[in-house]
Amino acid sequence: MNKYIKQLIKDNYSIGEISEIDRISSGLIHETHRINTNKGSCILQKLHPKLSSIEILEDFEAVTEHLAKAGRNTPRLIRTKKGDLATQDDNQCWRMQTALDGETFDNVPDDQIASEAGKALAQFHSALEDFEKPFKSNFILHETQKELDTLVKSFSGAPEALLSDQMLLTKDLIVDSIPGRILPHNLPVGVIHGDPKISNIIFHENHAQAMIDLDTCQRGSVLLDLGDAFRDWCAVGEEGDLVFSIGLFTSGWRGYRSHAKGLCTAEVGYVRQAIEFITLELSARFLADYINDSYFSWDKSKYTCRRAHNLARAQGQLSLFNDIQKKQQQIHAILSLPV
């Protein structure tokens, strides 16, 4: 693979002499490699087919350009020798971008990182408040009804070997629980990240430096980001058996709230619902891919197949949802704390 990548880079990019290629394994969607050269480091990604359109590439360039002008640390797209946004090879789309110094975490290790993550997300939202360009991509975040339809359709055509009674009950729980937790449509709209998990934040000496993986930026309620962020940042335990950390939530919320410019009272009142909603929606996506076996990448060092990993992910999200339900009063109390 490294030989192939070296040739692809040599043919399409002028980034210096390659000394090392390291595969970054934390992503669920793209295939990512860090390229070290005599001129510095870059990031090369083989983009998932659903996130490799010319429109998404143009939006990525526009958002990162705006962030840079606002003084925020951000990856920047590196065009090919021909001036293209990416290169196509064997029906695969490869994009090069600048690398940012620092480290990422797969899980939030402590309160300081949670607080810094909240700060980084708030500053990201604030920096893009005056982003006026329309997004060219028609990629829509959180198409909840579509996710539910996909889940139901997947189960209706699934082999019986995959459908235990428990699996059917799990599917029904998700389908029945999501509709009542969908967020109102009249909330304020801004530019959101779309996938603010902790591994998409770069840290240096435990201080957040930048948000990365900006292919899912779109306009929507910041609650979609907050729900997804706290779902990920506050999840503690094994992947298939997660609980919601009140301590990490307290730190993450304080970090966000102290740096968020315009969060209104109505938005604060829907934060818990947003966390529950996104947790259930993601469990629906994982459970559908348990059946369809086609979308998310999987950890071959821990699981025998994609289905096994996606089943564990779905079970973990439902475990997390159940724990959030038990801690509703604690969450409300934290949300009510003064800024």
Q: State the DSSP string of 114-156.
A: HHHHHHHHHHHHHHTTT--SPP-----S--HHHHHHHHHHHHH
Q: Inform me whether the pLDDT recorded for 234 exceeds 90.
A: yes
Predicted pLDDT at 261: 78
Average pLDDT estimate for 226-245: 96
* Mean pLDDT over each residue of the chain, to the nearest integer: 93
For residue 68, name the pLDDT band (cuts at 50, 70, 90).
very high
pLDDT digits over 267-296, tens only?
Answer: 999 999 999 999 999 999 999 999 988 878
C-alpha–C-alpha distance, residues 76 and 98, integer Å: 5
Q: How many Cβ atoms are within 10 Å of 309's Cβ, its own excluded?
A: 23
Average pLDDT estimate for 216-228: 96
Predicted pLDDT at 297: 81
Q: Which domains does the chain have, with CATH numbers?
A: 2-98 (3.30.200.20), 111-335 (3.90.1200.10)
Three-state secondary-structure class, residue 195: coil
178 phi and psi angles, rounded to 5 deg: -70, -45
Q: What percentage of residues in the chain have a pLDDT greater than 70?
A: 99
pLDDT digits over 123-181, tens only?
Answer: 999 999 999 999 999 888 888 999 999 999 999 989 998 988 988 999 999 999 999 99
* 223-256 per-residue burial string, b: 16 or more CB within 10 A, e: under 16: bbbbbbbbbbbbbeeebbebbbbeebbbbbbbbb
214: Cβ–Cβ under 8 A, 6 or more apart, which residues?
A: 60, 63, 64, 74, 75, 193
CA distances from 26 to 128, 151, 221 (A): 26, 25, 27
**37, 99 in Cβ contact below 8 A?**
no
Q: Inform me whether the pLDDT recorded for 27 exceeds 80.
A: no
